Amino acid sequence: MTGRLPSAVVEEVQPVELAPQSLVNRLHGWITTVDHKRLGIMYILYALVFLVVGGIEATVMRIQLIVPHNNFVSPQVFNRMFTMHGTTMIFFVAMPIVFGFANYLLPLMIGARDMAFPRLNAFSFWMTAFGGCLLYFSLVGAYGLYGAGNAPDVGWFAYAPLTSQTFSRGHSTDFWILAVLISGVGSIGGGVNMVATILCLRCPGMKLEKMPLLVWMYLVMAVLVLIAIGPLTAAQIMLLLDRYLGAHFFDTQAGGSAVLWMHFFWIFGHPEVYILVIPAFAFVSEIIPVFSRKAIFGYPIMVAATLAIGFVSVSVWAHHMFTVGLSPSANTFFVLSTMAIAVPTGIKIFNWLATMWGGKVHFQTPMLFCIGFLFQFLIAGLTGVMLSSAPFDWQLGNSYFVVAHFHYVIVGGILFALFGAFYYWFPKMSGKMYNETLGRLHFALFVIGFHLTFDSLHIPGILGMPRRVYTYEPGRGWDMWNLLATIGVIFQATGILVFAGNLLWSYFKGKSAGSDPWDAWTLEWSTASPPPAYDFALIPSVRSRRPLWDLKHPEDPDWRYEQ
Amino acid sequence: MHFASALSPTNIFAPVSTPANSIFGLALFVLAVAAVIFTVVFSLLVFSVVRFRKRRDDDGREPPQIYGSNQVELAWTVIPTLIVVTLFMATARVIAGIQKPARPAGAVEVVAVGHQFWWEFRYPELKVVTANELHVPLSDPDHPTPTFLTLTSADTDHSFWVPRLAGKTDLIPNRVNTMWIDPHETGLYLGQCAQYCGTQHAKMLLRVYVQTRDEFDRWIQEQNQPAHTDDNVYAGQRIFETTACINCHTVTGTPARGRFGPDLTHLMSRETIASGSVPNTPENLRQWIRNPAALKPGCRMPAMDLGDQEINALAAYLETLR
ipTM: 0.96
Residue B163: its chain A contacts at CB < 8 A? 395, 464
pLDDT beyond 80 at A6 = no
From chain B residues 21-50, the ones with a CB under 8 A of any chain A CB are: 22-23, 26-27, 30-31, 33-34, 37-38, 41-42, 44-45, 48-49
Residue A249: pLDDT band with limits 50, 70, 90: very high
Rounded Cα–Cα distance for residues A280 and A414 (Å): 5
Contact A401, A439 (CB under 8 A): no
Contact A68, A140 (CB under 8 A): no
**Is B264 in CB contact (< 8 Å) with chain A?**
no
Q: For A562, name the nearest residue in chain B, comparing CA atoms only.
A: B67
Contact B118, B198 (CB under 8 A): no
Within A267-307, strands assigned E span none
- Determine, for residues B177 and A382 on separate chains, whether the beta-carbon distance falls below 8 Å: no
pLDDT beyond 70 at B56 = yes
Exposed, middle or buried by CB within 10 Å (0-12, 13-18, 19+), for A141?
middle
3-state DSSP assignment of residue A86: helix
Total Cβ atoms within 10 A of residue B169: 25
Provide the terminal-to-terminal Cα distance of chain B, rounded to the nearest Å.
36
Residue B65: its chain A contacts at CB < 8 A? 294-295, 556, 558, 561
Please tell me the pTM assigned to this model.
0.95
Rounded Cα–Cα distance for residues B241 and B318 (Å): 12
pLDDT tens-digit series, residues A397-436: 999 999 999 999 999 999 999 999 999 999 999 999 999 9
**Phi and psi, residue B281, nearest 5°:** -105, 155
pLDDT beyond 60 at A303 = yes
Q: For B11, name the nearest residue in chain A, comparing CA atoms only.
A: A463
Average pLDDT over residues A366-375: 98
Q: What is the pLDDT of residue A149?
A: 67
Q: Who among A159, A476, A556 is closest to B8 (CB)?
A: A476
Residue A19: pLDDT band with limits 50, 70, 90: confident
Give the whole-number percent of chain A exceeding pLDDT 70.
Answer: 95
Q: What is the pLDDT of residue B229?
A: 87
pLDDT beyond 60 at B5 = yes
Q: Who among A257, A383, A398 is closest to B195 (CB)?
A: A398
Residue B6: pLDDT band with limits 50, 70, 90: confident
**Phi and psi, residue B121, nearest 5°:** -120, 125
3-state DSSP assignment of residue A71: coil
- Cis before A530? omega within 30: yes
**Residue-wise DSSP of A350-407:** HHHHHHHTTS-B---HHHHHHHHHHHHHHHHHHHHHHHHSHHHHHHHTTBHHHHHHHH
Q: What is the mean pLDDT of chain B?
A: 95
**Residue-wise DSSP of A478-504:** -HHHHHHHHHHHHHHHHHHHHHHHHHH
Q: Which residues share a beta bridge with B140?
A: B143
Residue A12: pLDDT band with limits 50, 70, 90: low
pLDDT beyond 50 at A139 = yes
Residue A342: its chain B contacts at CB < 8 A? 80, 84
Q: What is the pLDDT of residue B241?
A: 94
CA quadruple A377, A381, A384, A388: dihedral, nearest 10: 160
- The candidate with the shortest Cα–Cα distance to B136, out of B112, B164, B108, B165, is B108
Residue B69: its chain A contacts at CB < 8 A? 297-298
Average pLDDT over residues A87-109: 97
- Determine, for residues B12 and A255 on separate chains, whether the beta-carbon distance falls below 8 Å: no
- The candidate with the shortest Cα–Cα distance to B298, out of B157, B116, B133, is B116
Q: What is the pLDDT of residue B39?
A: 98
B16 alpha carbon, distance to own chain's centre: 14
Exposed, middle or buried by CB within 10 Å (0-12, 13-18, 19+), for A10?
middle
Residue B246: pLDDT band with limits 50, 70, 90: very high
Residue A21: pLDDT band with limits 50, 70, 90: confident
3-state secondary structure A193-252: HHHHHHHHCCCCCCCHHHCCHHHHHHHHHHHHHHHHHHHHHHHHHHHHHHHHCCCCCCCH
Q: What is the pLDDT of residue A148?
A: 58
Q: What is the pLDDT of residue A5?
A: 43
Rounded Cα–Cα distance for residues A291 and A278 (Å): 20
- Determine, for residues B52 and A356 on separate chains, whether the beta-carbon distance falls below 8 Å: yes
Rounded Cα–Cα distance for residues A499 and A513 (Å): 18
Total Cβ atoms within 10 A of residue B62: 14
Contact A492, A372 (CB under 8 A): no
Beta strand B205-211 pairing with B272-273: unpaired
The answer regarding whether domain A23-560 maps to CATH 1.10.10.10 reads no
**Residues 6 or more apart in contact with residue B257 via CB below 8 angstroms:** B246, B250
Q: What angle in degrees, to the nearest 10, is found between the helix axes of A36-64 and A75-87? A: 150
**Residues 6 or more apart in contact with residue A108 via CB below 8 angstroms:** A37, A428, A523, A524, A527, A531, A535
- Determine, for residues A293 and B192 on separate chains, whether the beta-carbon distance falls below 8 Å: no
pLDDT beyond 90 at B3 = no
pLDDT beyond 80 at A449 = yes
Give the whole-number percent of chain B exceeding pLDDT 70.
Answer: 99
Q: What is the mean pLDDT of chain A?
A: 94
Rounded Cα–Cα distance for residues B26 and A389 (Å): 9
Q: What is the pLDDT of residue A327?
A: 96
Give which of A145, A165, A323, A458 to mutate to test B binding, by max B Cβ within 10 Å. Answer: A323
- Determine, for residues B23 and A293 on separate chains, whether the beta-carbon distance falls below 8 Å: no
- The minimum CA-CA distance between B265 and chain A, rounded to whole Å, is 28
Q: What angle in degrees, to the nearest 10, is found between the helix axes of B234-242 and B308-318? A: 100
Total Cβ atoms within 10 A of residue A43: 27
Instruction: List the B133-137 sheet strands across, edge first.
Output: B133-137, B205-211, B187-192
pLDDT beyond 90 at A145 = no
CA quadruple A450, A453, A458, A462: dihedral, nearest 10: 180
pLDDT beyond 60 at A87 = yes
Average pLDDT over residues B308-315: 95
- Determine, for residues A390 and B95 on separate chains, whether the beta-carbon distance falls below 8 Å: yes
Contact B116, B191 (CB under 8 A): no
Residue ranges per domain, chain A?
23-560
Q: What is the pLDDT of residue B4?
A: 83
Residue B220: pLDDT band with limits 50, 70, 90: very high
- Could you tell me the sign of the dihedral formed by the alpha carbons of B181, B184, B189, B194, in that order? negative
pLDDT beyond 80 at A47 = yes
Give the whole-number percent of chain A exceeding pLDDT 90.
Answer: 91
Residue A140: pLDDT band with limits 50, 70, 90: confident
pLDDT beyond 50 at B187 = yes
3-state DSSP assignment of residue A171: coil
- The minimum CA-CA distance between B231 and chain A, rounded to whole Å, is 39
**Residues 6 or more apart in contact with residue B51 via CB below 8 angstroms:** none
Average pLDDT over residues A258-270: 97
Rounded Cα–Cα distance for residues B19 and B179 (Å): 9
- Determine, for residues A325 and B172 on separate chains, whether the beta-carbon distance falls below 8 Å: yes
List, in order of start, the domains of chain B with CATH numbers.
2-52+67-99 (1.10.287), 108-211 (2.60.40.420), 231-318 (2.60.40.420)
Residue B39: its chain A contacts at CB < 8 A? none
- Determine, for residues B174 and A257 on separate chains, whether the beta-carbon distance falls below 8 Å: yes
Q: What is the pLDDT of residue A20?
A: 75
Contact B286, B309 (CB under 8 A): no
Q: What is the pLDDT of residue A8?
A: 46
Q: What is the pLDDT of residue B1?
A: 59
Contact A513, A530 (CB under 8 A): no
CA quadruple A153, A155, A158, A163: dihedral, nearest 10: -20
Rounded Cα–Cα distance for residues A159 and A79 (Å): 14
- The minimum CA-CA distance between A181 and chain B, rounded to whole Å, is 23
Q: What is the pLDDT of residue A7?
A: 43
Rounded Cα–Cα distance for residues A106 and B157 (Å): 43
- The candidate with the shortest Cα–Cα distance to A536, out of A113, A117, A200, A116, is A113
- Cis before B63? omega within 30: no
Contact A554, A563 (CB under 8 A): no
- The minimum CA-CA distance between B163 and chain A, rounded to whole Å, is 6
Q: Which residues share a beta bridge with A30?
A: none
- Determine, for residues A301 and B13 on separate chains, whether the beta-carbon distance falls below 8 Å: no
Exposed, middle or buried by CB within 10 Å (0-12, 13-18, 19+), for B308?
exposed
- Determine, for residues B156 and A161 on separate chains, whether the beta-carbon distance falls below 8 Å: yes
Average pLDDT over residues A258-279: 97
Within B105-168, strands assigned E span 108-115, 118-123, 128-131, 133-137, 147-153, 158-160
**Residues 6 or more apart in contact with residue B256 via CB below 8 angstroms:** B240, B241, B245, B246, B249, B250, B264
